[in-house]
Amino acid sequence: MSAQRLDYRWNLRQIMARHGMFSTTNLLAPLSERGITLSTSQVYRLVVDRPERLSLEILMALLDIFGCEMTELIEPVAVAAPHSRARAVGGEKGIGALRPRRARIVGPEG
């Protein structure tokens, strides 16, 4: 049995909307009240982009601000196993004979 690969869905924007926060700057004051000082661009990236790294202090502050569980904010999702490229490269089920031909450059004399 192979282990299933997991990924995650970042739901901060949706949680903010449920709490009537529709601007990323709405998060500055609640974070500051909890000792977290971020620039407006850092907060924007935190809300809009899916973070690859997140400090536990910020995570705990977000959970406290919104009164939510970690699985609401960071939703685990299973990822389908990547397909093997070996078949396509071999031409069995790939594009096979439909590969483009290399162009031949002919000089001015033809």
* Span 31-42, average pLDDT: 97
Residue 82: what pLDDT?
67
Mean pLDDT score across all residues of the chain = 86
CA distance 7 to 79: 6
Nearest to 31 by CA among 58, 66, 54, 70: 58
CATH of domain 6-78: 1.10.260
* Span 82-96, average pLDDT: 56
- Does pLDDT of 90 surpass 60? no
CB atoms under 10 Å from CB of 100, counted, come to 6
- Among 8-17, 34-43, 45-54, 95-104, name the one with the lowest average pLDDT: 95-104
pTM, entire model = 0.68
61 close to 36: Cβ distance less than 8 angstroms? yes
CA distance 84 to 98: 20
Q: Where are the alpha helices (DSSP H) in the chain?
A: 12-18, 28-33, 40-48, 56-66, 70-73, 86-90
